[in-house]
Amino acid sequence: MNLAIVGATGAVGQVTLRLIEARYPQHRNLKLLASKRSAGRKMNVNGKTFVVEETTDDSFDDVDIAFISVSTEASRRFGPVAARAGAMVIDDSSAFRMEQAVPLVVPEVNGSDLLWHDGIVSIPNCSTTPLVMVAHPLRQASPIRRIVADTYQSVSGAGGAAMDELREQTRTVMHGGPAEPNAQPQRIAFNVFPQIDGFNETGYTVEEQKMIDESRKILHAPDIALSATCVRVPVLVSHCVAAHLEFEQPVSAGEARELLSQMPGVTVQDDPAASVYPMPVSAAGCDDVFVGRIRKDASHPNGLAMWVVTDNLVKGAALNALQIAEEAVALGAVHGQRR
Amino acid sequence: MNLAIVGATGAVGQVTLRLIEARYPQHRNLKLLASKRSAGRKMNVNGKTFVVEETTDDSFDDVDIAFISVSTEASRRFGPVAARAGAMVIDDSSAFRMEQAVPLVVPEVNGSDLLWHDGIVSIPNCSTTPLVMVAHPLRQASPIRRIVADTYQSVSGAGGAAMDELREQTRTVMHGGPAEPNAQPQRIAFNVFPQIDGFNETGYTVEEQKMIDESRKILHAPDIALSATCVRVPVLVSHCVAAHLEFEQPVSAGEARELLSQMPGVTVQDDPAASVYPMPVSAAGCDDVFVGRIRKDASHPNGLAMWVVTDNLVKGAALNALQIAEEAVALGAVHGQRR
């Protein structure tokens, strides 16, 4: 099976290659693609040296699955090109997520949606994935009516340049220098700000609206009421969500803990007496979605509150994409409905 | 009027002295008190050098108002001593806040509660104050039924040692060293963690329960349903709250903006198109509670979402204490009901 990694030199692309080495240590049928700027760079994967090529209209001949993690604009440009060339496109951008013909997939939640793709499958925004991973199993206890989710999102969600900026800005500020934002809309060193992406007319950011719309699509639950405030925090990797869920019937914290611990891809870390709960630094580099602080929500008789953390580059992006490929292979759905 | 500052060398004590210089530039009738460890230290206030004295049972003779910002244990020890000596005690700890005989006061919200104190007045937790400052004026539009509040709290809320730890740990981590927590329960450099203070049996932290209980007491609204997740973030000064309020009737964002801009001590910073909203670095050192991102909550027909930021050492502590003293003087209530 020939795999193409579009955006191989980016933050998510690099994690994708690391995960390919971990999961498929023999696989060398790879094509590493990127923008013109990164073309010519050499990268080692599974003991073989690959030269990064510029992505063009001719890049996708003989490619079976193309993982795309680039700008939304570049996805719009090359996603359909790759699909027309016969590749299954697994796209990390928001370009196609809400299109009716495109499944938006977290395999543990709605893997069967891969049966009806038409060449392009989208993966959710990195703050949506952890939320639906915990919401889905809890629906076995009772249907969800409403979710309020406030996020604590690391700079790697904005790419490698934002990670560099956090490091450099922190150094500058600690030496008394000025903190001029460049890769981010505001200073991030020793600061937080409630803006990820631009604003809609409703006053919500595009990122917040993604959490709302994408969660409903993945959960097949257009009626769940959702609100979010998405906040950037000075953390390099991992996103956190303070989530407040309201059910049709009361759900106990114990029942929730039980259902969550049975969910594949979810690890419960919930021992407050021992100060055990998920955190960005402990989740970074791990595959799972971690959940803790599970408690009856004091503000609603049918509510639960919890704290959810995942590595936004792993399950929030690269791992979810690879798992979609694996699930599509298992379902015999790599070529979707096209043939 | 003789003022005593108990905990003069601490994070809040130092801000109190700075605010005394700003608000009462002629005032020199001061007694600076602290623990034995800090006794003997010299501090300049309004051009006069004061020697910090150890707090003892005899410290409060001739003191009219004692501002106490020390540990809860030390407040329990010296608060009643100062009150018995005839001082009006304005206490920053959680020692007395929920006692029925002790008013818990944010002057702009419930200043008239100063009329019935019995020697001790408490100021709220630094995460409660900004929340009630925005909740109170909005009740003019419609009664509040429920509040969900998730916080982003700076390390200065845990005192000067935690501020030093954030700086030093950040330096260590940037040089590849280990991050060993000491003043905090977890590593804070490039990390966040959902634990402030210990845990109750409900699974809520003491800090979260304070937000719930104190808000109800200050607002005289025992029926408001409240939930909170309190999170420490790697920021030096200022606390943020992502707040979701539910009203009996719908309240528009415009109406909310109007009511909030008329509230003394609140500044609306809400121009998303220009990326204008409150942040820790812009609120630090300022007197006001700042509010932005005011919008209809997408998850409830009668809901509003907003983002609230204030300097936790200023309005969250020292300023609120001074304003209580000013209000008590204006009301002729310094000596409360005791005489």
CB-based contacts of A1, cutoff 8 Å, min separation 6: A27, A29, A64, A65, A329
Q: What is the pLDDT of residues B239-277, one digit of tens each?
A: 999 999 999 999 999 999 999 999 999 999 999 999 999
* Domain extent for B149: 128-154+194-230+237-312
Kindly indicate the confidence band of residue B339, based on its pLDDT and cuts at 50, 70 and 90: very low
pLDDT at A339: 44
Q: Is the dihedral of CA B160, B265, B292, B307 positive or negative?
A: positive
A68 in any annotated domain: yes
pLDDT at A91: 98
**Whether residue A198 is found in the same domain as residue A307:** yes
B254 in any annotated domain: yes
CB contact under 8 A, B279 and A186: yes
CA angle at residue A268 from A264 to A269, to 5 degrees? 150
Distance from the Cα of residue B253 to its chain's centroid: 26
CB contact under 8 A, B227 and A185: no
CATH of the domain at B297: 3.30.360.10
pLDDT at B108: 98
- Closest-CA distance, A20 to chain B, in angstroms, reads 27
Point out the residue among B199, B202, B280 whose CB comes nearest to the CB of A192.
Answer: B280
pLDDT at B338: 58
ipTM of the complex: 0.96
**Whether residue B212 is found in the same domain as residue B65:** no
- Pick the residue of B164, B212, B227 with the most A CBs within 10 A to test the interface with A by mutation: B227
Query: Residue A34 in contact with residue A52, Cβ under 8 Å?
Result: yes
Other residues' Cβ atoms within 10 Å of the Cβ of residue B247: 21
CB contact under 8 A, B229 and A192: no
- Pick the residue of A147, A204, A227 with the most B CBs within 10 A to test the interface with B by mutation: A227
Distance from the Cα of residue A93 to its chain's centroid: 10
- Tokens 């608060």 belong to residue: B79
B172 in any annotated domain: no
* pLDDT of residue B288 exceeding 70: yes
Point out the residue among A190, A199, A202 whose CB comes nearest to the CB of B235.
Answer: A190
> Which parts of chain A register pLDDT below 50?
339
**Whether residue A181 is found in the same domain as residue A293:** yes
Overall number of domains in chain A: 2
- Closest-CA distance, B224 to chain A, in angstroms, reads 8
Q: What is the pLDDT of residues B70-79, one digit of tens each?
A: 999 999 999 9
**Whether residue A266 is found in the same domain as residue A304:** yes
A335 in any annotated domain: no
**Whether residue B108 is found in the same domain as residue B67:** yes
CATH of the domain at B94: 3.40.50.720
**Whether residue B278 is found in the same domain as residue B135:** yes
**Whether residue A274 is found in the same domain as residue A159:** yes
Active-site pick, B126, B136, B230, B240: B126
Q: What is the pLDDT of residues B199-235, one digit of tens each?
A: 999 999 999 999 999 999 999 999 999 999 999 999 9
B239 is catalytic: yes
**Whether residue A187 is found in the same domain as residue A66:** no
B336 in any annotated domain: no
A339 in any annotated domain: no
Nearest residue of chain A to residue B166 (CA atoms): A190
Nearest residue of chain A to residue B304 (CA atoms): A227
A337 in any annotated domain: no
Active-site pick, B117, B136, B230, B239: B239
**Please, what is the end-to-end C-alpha distance for chain A in angstroms?**
18
A336 in any annotated domain: no
Point out the residue among B192, B203, B226 whose CB comes nearest to the CB of A293.
Answer: B203
CB-based contacts of A37, cutoff 8 Å, min separation 6: none
**Whether residue B141 is found in the same domain as residue B115:** no
CB contact under 8 A, A191 and B253: no
CB contact under 8 A, A192 and B227: no
Nearest residue of chain A to residue B196 (CA atoms): A275
pLDDT at A336: 76
- Mean of all residue pLDDT scores within chain B: 97
A239 is catalytic: yes
CB contact under 8 A, B272 and A203: yes
Q: What is the pLDDT of residues B98-118, one digit of tens each?
A: 999 999 999 999 999 999 999
* pLDDT of residue B335 exceeding 90: no
**Whether residue B38 is found in the same domain as residue B92:** yes
**Whether residue A161 is found in the same domain as residue A272:** yes
Residues of B in contact with A147 (CB under 8 A): 299
**Whether residue A181 is found in the same domain as residue A88:** no
Point out the residue among B186, B253, B275 whose CB comes nearest to the CB of A275.
Answer: B186
